[in-house]
Structures are given as structure tokens and as C-alpha cells.
Amino acid sequence: MNAPIEQYIEFATNHYLLVFALVCVIFLLIQDLIANSFNKYENISPLIAVTKMNSDNVVVLDVREQHEFTKSHIENALNIPLGKVEEQLPALEKHKKHPLIVTCQTGARSTAACKTLTKAGFEQVYNMIGGMQSWEDNKLPIKLGKIKD
């Protein structure tokens, strides 16, 4: 049975907040799909990151601030705070062809770093979803102490 258009209009006018919420959710979903389709990097979980670390010549880039990195980090990770990623691109040049897993505390800063790296021509960039928070929630190994040069 097809409801007449008048019933849809009546529903929309009686429940305008629900209709508005639905339109917002649809808009956000479409926006997210479009944004993800243009990303040149891939989002991966911490468990997939471990698999990549075990099988490839992977470089882990931690874009948290130094004091956050010192508390806990992935072993052998490079620490370049997000604000310095662009100026440190020449130092990362030797890793341009290697898989590069980028992490931060929650995954927000690493997304920005991934965009910068892919724009600079890095070919295999992976954003670790959830960052170190997710890494530690999955009980994966961390290293405490000083920074690797």
C-alpha cells in the first residue's frame, strides 16, 4: 500500500524535529562517504597495524607531543608532534616508499598527519583508528621511557 503524499507531509509537520534529525544524519553520512572516498590513506585497527608491523618494513609515526610519547608508545616508533610534521618531511623522505602507520592519542591528530603525508607523496599511509588509547585498550605492548632518535 502506498500512502498518499499528504500523509507524509502531515507526518513531517507533526514530527519536524525527527525529520530534521533524519536529514542531518543522512547529510553527515553522505559527507563522510564522500570524504573517505577521496582519502589517499587507509584507516586500520590496532590489530591490523600489528599484523602489518610483523609482515612488512613498517614505520610507526607517533604524532603526539613529546611528554605524551614518553609516557607510553609503540616500540621503535618515531615521534614527530603534529605541528612539526610538515617541517620534518625531509627527514621522513627515506620512508616514502615504506608502509607508514600514523598514530596519536585518539586518532584525531593522526588523521591530519595522514593528510599531510599523502599530500607530500607518501604512498602507503595508514591511520590507526583510536590511536594509542585503542592500542592500550587492546592490551598491546607499549614501551615506557625515552624517545628513539
pLDDT digits (tens, 9 = 90+) for 12-61: 999 999 999 999 999 999 987 887 667 789 899 999 999 999 887 899 99
DSSP letter (8 states) at residue 1: -
What pTM, to 2 d.p., does this model score?
0.73
In contact, 137 and 130? CB cutoff 8 Å: yes
pLDDT at 1 over 60: no
First to last CA, the chain: 69
List all residues 6 or more positions away from 112 whose beta carbon is below 8 Å from its beta carbon. 82
Mean pLDDT for the stretch of residues 66-86: 93
pLDDT at 148 over 70: no
Residues with a catalytic annotation lie at 104
